């Protein structure tokens, strides 16, 4: 089933040909590579897992897509180091097979569950989203995933559940950033959403991007993508989902409460002490065309505004 | 930019690379006279001015790169950055302190200023501290670089204090 807002627009018209390749070709290539024994990055889900599933195509986004090589080589994933290239260089040290996620707190059916079981019966879709980092750069990435709500509903949140808290894997033996003596982060990395934010149809868990399973540096095997919030909210390599009544304390808010809030909605009018949030550099960028564009409220996803009706967003940043 | 060697974010990478080398060479400048004392090679000091000018060159290039490729020569952006972002405010003040040192680095100025030349050039110490603070304030999450450069700075300052102390002991005040 196609959900196209404008008929007959080929994805190739909105994204460079070399970046976009059809899903069928992806599947063929992924399978061919796997068959040929070429070393693909190991993933918690076998490559065939994705290939065997129907993925509902994304609604087009009329903006140039960021190249896969930029999106997989320029990452903030401090578990592997603080340089943008560190995750791509070191994330292979993390084993993600098998992968279990613990669901706990205010749910009727708590438990620890293997990733494949957790995803059973959930339909995958592609979503082309803008990703805006608090450091004033941004990308456009085709994710493969599904609404967060679909997983939460499986565990039946109780009436007391007001927030969702997520945690990244904490395994210093495989995550060199967690061993660093110079890191000020109190591991594991924690993020959180209000339950109604998590249940918003735009909030997804991603298991893939660019037609393939997620690379480790992008948060394999499962990560959050909340496109109207700064990138640090979109927590990677999730091992724990906890429904809570009290608001969880997210990592960056804990470290620098004046710089990073709990909500972290993209907002050009709330300045950050280090970066002006009025504009952003959109990848691809070049030396003499840094590609600055104005930043939009909620990163352009106006449909979430209702979640914050009556809130002073300069106070709840 | 494919092939530039600067990665997916060449503008930021260029600014960072020039800043990193600016700071390293500035520390190297401060290391010249301690090294000449420790190694008992007084002639080393002749290179100090040259090394200092190289540091200044990298720092100016760092500043120009920031102006051109990050700020796009937009005056409002630059003014807002210098006033509102503490890490840029201290970086900018480090640069301002280094300018008179570069200008007066010639023999002519050295002669003209006489004893005041030495006093003036002590500005390099607060400039180095400001440059370090700049790095500290722009770091987030990982503090390896500020730690390493900070340790080097403390060592270099410590050697100076110790040298002064030794000199004072050798020539007791009469
Ligand atoms: C003595 C003077 C200065 C020194 C030694 C210096 C050194 C540095 C160093 C070491 C870095 C960090 C590189 C990294 O960790 O990757 C840096 C970053 C930076 N510096 Fe400077 N800097 C100086 C002055 C300035 C001035 C005057 C400006 C602008 C007005 C400036 C703007 C920046 C910016 C914008 C960044 C960060 C770029 C980013 O966010 O990626 N610096 N500088």
Q: Provide the residue ranges of all domains of chain A, joining segments of one domain with +.
A: 11-308
Q: Which residues of A touch B8 (CB under 8 A)?
A: 69-70, 73-74, 84, 283-285
Residue B169 within a domain: no
Q: Which residues of B touch A69 (CB under 8 A)?
A: 8
Ligand 1 centre distance from Cα of residue B131 (Å): 8
Going by C-alpha positions, the residue among A145, A152, A111, A110 that lies closest to residue A128 is A145
Could you tell me which residues are beta bridge partners of residue A209?
A143, A212
Per-range mean pLDDT, top range of A190-194, A287-291, B107-111? A190-194
Q: How confident is the model at residue B42 (pLDDT cuts 50, 70, 90)?
A: very high
pLDDT of residue A50: 86
Atom of ligand 1 nearest to the CA of B149: 10
Going by C-alpha positions, the residue among A133, A144, A151 that lies closest to residue A234 is A133
pLDDT of A30 strictly over 50: no
Number of domains composing chain B: 1
Per-residue CA distances from A210 to A23, A27, A163, B32 (Å): 9, 11, 30, 53
Q: For the residues of A77-146, what is the DSSP string, one character each?
A: -GGG-SSTTHHHHHGGGS--SS-EEEEEESBSS-EEEEHHHHHTTPPEEEEEEEEE-TTSEEEEEEEEEE
The yes or no reply on domain A11-308 and CATH 3.40.50.300 is: no
Residue B5 within a domain: no
Ligand 1 centre distance from Cα of residue A79 (Å): 25
Residue B93 within a domain: yes
Compute the distance between CA of residue B53 and CA of residue A53 in angstroms, rounded to an integer: 62
* Per-residue pLDDT tens over the stretch A152-208: 999 999 999 999 999 999 999 999 999 998 888 999 999 999 999 999 999 999 999
Q: What is the pTM of this model?
A: 0.86
Position of tokens 């480790």? A216
Residue B108 within a domain: yes
Ligand 1 centre distance from Cα of residue B60 (Å): 10
Q: Cβ of B142 and A84 within 8 Å? A: no
Compute the distance between CA of residue A142 and CA of residue A125 in angstroms, rounded to an integer: 10
Integer-rounded Cα radius of gyration of chain B: 18
Residue A69 CB burial class (10 angstroms; 0-12, 13-18, ≥19): middle
Q: Cβ of B147 and A81 within 8 Å? A: no
B11 and A281 in contact (C-beta within 8 Å)? yes
SS3 content of chain A, % helix, strand, coil (to 5): 25, 25, 50
The residue segments making up the domain with residue B46 are 10-163
B129 and B153 in contact (C-beta within 8 Å)? yes
Residue B2 within a domain: no
Cβ-based interface (< 8 Å): residues of B facing A: 1, 4, 6-12, 14, 69-70, 72, 77, 80-81, 84-87, 138-144, 147
């Amino acid at each position: 089933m196609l959900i196209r807002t404008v008929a007959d627009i080929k994805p190739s018209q909105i994204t460079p040909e070399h970046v976009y390749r059809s899903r069928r070709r992806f599947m063929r290539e992924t399978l061919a590579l796997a068959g040929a024994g070429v070393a693909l990055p190991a993933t918690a889900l076998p490559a065939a897992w994705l290939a065997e599933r129907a993925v509902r195509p994304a609604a087009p986004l009329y903006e140039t897509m960021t190249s896969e090589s930029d999106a997989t080589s320029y990452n903030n994933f401090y578990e592997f180091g603080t340089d943008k290239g560190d995750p791509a260089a070191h994330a292979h040290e993390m084993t993600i097979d098998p992968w279990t996620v613990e669901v706990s707190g205010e749910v009727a059916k708590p438990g620890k569950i293997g990733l494949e079981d957790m995803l059973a019966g959930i339909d995958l879709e592609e979503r082309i989203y803008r990703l805006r980092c608090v450091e004033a750069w941004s990308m456009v990435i085709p994710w493969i995933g599904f609404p967060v709500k679909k997983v939460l509903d499986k565990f039946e949140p109780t009436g007391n559940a007001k927030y969702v808290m997520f945690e990244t894997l904490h395994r210093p033996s495989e995550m060199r950033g967690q061993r660093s003596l110079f890191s000020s982060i109190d591991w594991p990395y924690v993020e959180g959403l209000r339950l109604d934010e998590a249940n918003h149809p735009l909030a997804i868990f991603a298991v893939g991007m660019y037609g393939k399973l997620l690379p480790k540096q992008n948060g394999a095997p499962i990560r959050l993508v909340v496109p109207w919030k700064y990138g640090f909210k979109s927590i990677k390599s999730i091992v724990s989902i906890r429904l809570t009544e009290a608001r969880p304390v997210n990592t960056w808010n804990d470290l620098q409460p004046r710089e990073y809030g709990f909500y972290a909605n993209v907002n050009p009018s709330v300045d950050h002490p280090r970066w002006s949030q009025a504009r952003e550099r959109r990848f691809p960028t070049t030396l003499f065309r840094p590609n600055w564009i104005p930043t939009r409220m909620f990163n352009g996803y106006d449909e979430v505004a209702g979640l914050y009706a009556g809130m002073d967003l300069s106070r709840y940043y | 930019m494919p092939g530039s060697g600067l990665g997916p974010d060449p503008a930021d990478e260029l600014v960072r690379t020039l800043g990193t080398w600016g700071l390293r060479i500035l520390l190297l400048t401060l290391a010249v006279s301690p090294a000449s004392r420790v190694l008992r090679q007084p002639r080393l000091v002749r290179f100090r001015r040259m090394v200092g000018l190289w540091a200044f060159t990298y720092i100016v290039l760092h500043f120009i790169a920031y102006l051109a490729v990050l700020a796009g020569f937009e005056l409002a952006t630059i003014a807002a950055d210098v006033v509102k972002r503490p890490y840029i405010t201290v970086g900018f003040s480090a640069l301002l302190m280094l300018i008179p040192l570069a200008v007066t680095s010639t023999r002519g100025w050295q002669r003209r200023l006489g004893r005041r030349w030495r006093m003036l050039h002590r500005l390099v110490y607060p400039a180095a501290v400001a440059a370090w603070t700049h790095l500290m304030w722009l770091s987030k999450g990982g503090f390896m670089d500020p730690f390493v450069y900070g340790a080097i700075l403390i060592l270099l300052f410590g050697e100076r204090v110790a040298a002064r102390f030794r000199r004072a002991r050798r020539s007791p005040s009469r």
